[in-house]
Homo-oligomer: A and B are copies of this chain.
Amino acid sequence: MSEIATNEPAKARGPSAVGVFRAALKRDLLLAFRSKSDLLNPLIFFLMVATLFPLGVSPEPGFLALLAPGLVWVAALLATLLSMDSLFRADFEDGTLEQALLSPQPLILIVLARVLAHWIMTGLPLTLMAPLLGLMLFLPADGMGGLMLSLLLGTPTLSLIGAIGAALTVGLRKGGVLISLLVLPLYIPVLIFGSGAVQAAVTGLPLAGYLALLGAMLALGVVLAPLAIGAALRISVSG
């Protein structure tokens, strides 16, 4: 806690970029840890999907194994999408977003830290929990590696794209659905390559191609998305 207070040397102006990024990341993680439920969010959603499908669809292992690669990816996508709406909303409603926009610090860094924190709180636990989900859904053991790798490369892209939608809709009274509409079309390539990678891993085909594509999308996202997010935030708040 007090680290936040002191990690910025007084009057330092030059090299504070990294400092701001770190301070922002720390603050965002702290916020997430404070409302502990945020931490459990993807975990719960994932477990929910893993219990609901056998109950609702069919408990038969063979069937579930066929379903698993796509199901895990769809669940990851939905978990990310559903957590997106709140990404900037709380900050908007209590005025902290205003303060961040008025700060002379580069907005891109603050935004990037926020997305990174979001990924650490959703994408990362999703990735780490995927094997458990795979086990419950009888995913063949060969698929586990591909599942985790594809999620590791794919979920940051989901967070980045989703943040653009969140920034565009933050000023509106109800953003929930609008975000889904804006963001879903952009998510579909990630879904296709991601679940494709898992399927390839299950059937023993090479998955380097899929992973390379996911990596390329991630690189593109890291470069372009923060710009779009920053611009969208300024527009939303000025309205």
A191 interfacial by beta-carbon distance below 8 Å: yes
**CA of A180 to CA of B68, assembled, Å:** 22
For chain A residues 140-175, which have a beta carbon within 8 Å of chain B?
A: 173-175
Are A57's CB and B174's CB within 8 A?
no
A136 interfacial by beta-carbon distance below 8 Å: no
Q: Contact residues of A with B, CB < 8 Å? A: 34-38, 40-41, 44-45, 48-49, 51-53, 55-58, 63, 66-67, 69-71, 73-74, 77-78, 82, 86, 173-178, 180-181, 184, 188, 191-192, 194-195
**Number of identical monomers bound together in the oligomeric complex:** 2
A40 / chain B contacts, CB cutoff of 8 Å: 177, 181
A86 / chain B contacts, CB cutoff of 8 Å: 176
State the main secondary structure of chain A at its contact with B.
Answer: helix
Residue in B37, B48, B194 whose CB lies within 8 Å of A174 = B37
**CA of A70 to CA of B194, assembled, Å:** 24
**CA of A177 to CA of B83, assembled, Å:** 10
Q: Which 10 A-B pairs have the closest CB atoms?
A: A57-B70, A56-B70, A35-B174, A37-B177, A37-B174, A56-B74, A56-B195, A41-B177, A44-B177, A52-B74
